[in-house]
Amino acid sequence: MVLQVKLPGLDLANPIMPASGCFGFGAEYDKYYDISQLGAVMIKATTPEARFGNPTPRVAETPSGMLNAIGLQNPGLDAVLGQILPDLAAKHPTLPIIANVAGSTVEDYVLVCKEISQAPNVKAIELNVSCPNVKHGGIAFGTDPATAGALTEAVKEVSQVPIYVKLSPNVTDIVPIARAIEAGGADGFTMINTLLGMRIDLKTRKPILANQTGGLSGPAIKPVAIRLIRQVAQVSHLPIIGMGGVMTVDDVMEMFLAGAQAVAVGTANFTDPYICPKLIDALPLRMAELGISSLEQLIKDVREELDQ
């Protein structure tokens, strides 16, 4: 079975990678297995300055998933460039890194993208557009087509690697946003980000999370992810890295059939730190059972069906 997949900037030995925010910067899982076997690693979000994140509690379990309001905690651009990325390059010289970039202003994104795209092992950037734009009343960059398109265009001008934009499901219609991002010059999409949710403590009668709301992830959101991936794939030929509730090899195949070209695994890493290598090992057998000899051929077949 041929597992290789080629995407802009990414020559993947297999299509499986951990989603940003669920794998730290890689070192946390490297103690369990050799992470070089992954197709790529989407590292935790990087912002210009160090961020300590939101107050606790910032994680809550839900049926078939979890809520998180971590708040993009990270050591900042200088630490990522000076220590984290060089350490990854030294230990795993062939492992492609996808750097997740976040910020509160367009200038934040431009600064981080310009600098981080120069790191030798960063092969692509994942733009986290679910962040609030503080200069425009806190509206998330990814919920307004014009804002999302302008941000994409701005970072494309300075980045030395392809830009994948992480689409938010917290919108009325994802299609105009995807189209605006494509018009802004994006090289691909990653989708979906978490759904906004809340839990309330019956004893205190207050939200469990200190931030009140958080991002819902896990198996509960997979049907939403599948629907949105298909919607975007029907209107755009840009490659999609699918994510949202992936737990099994069948979930991986479903993402491909929806229109994805690679798959990221998020919350499942918390319940099973070996989930990514398990999925990589399971893929060839499941592909054989389904009569699929090559993922690249499957991608072409799905594309033809979508274009009909």
Residues annotated catalytic, as ranges? 131
* CA distance linking residue 56 with residue 75, whole number of Å: 18
Q: Is 250 helix (H, G, I), strand (E, B) or coil?
A: helix
Q: What single-letter DSSP state applies at residue 45? A: P
- The token pair at 247 is 């737990």
Tallying the residues shown for the chain, one arrives at 308
Pairing, β 59-62 against β 65-68:
antiparallel
Distances (CA, A) of 83 to 25, 61, 77, 170, 251: 11, 33, 10, 34, 35
Q: Is 175 buried (19+), middle (13-18) or exposed (0-12) by CB count in 10 A?
A: middle
| Nearest-5° Cα angle at 190, 185 to 196 | 120
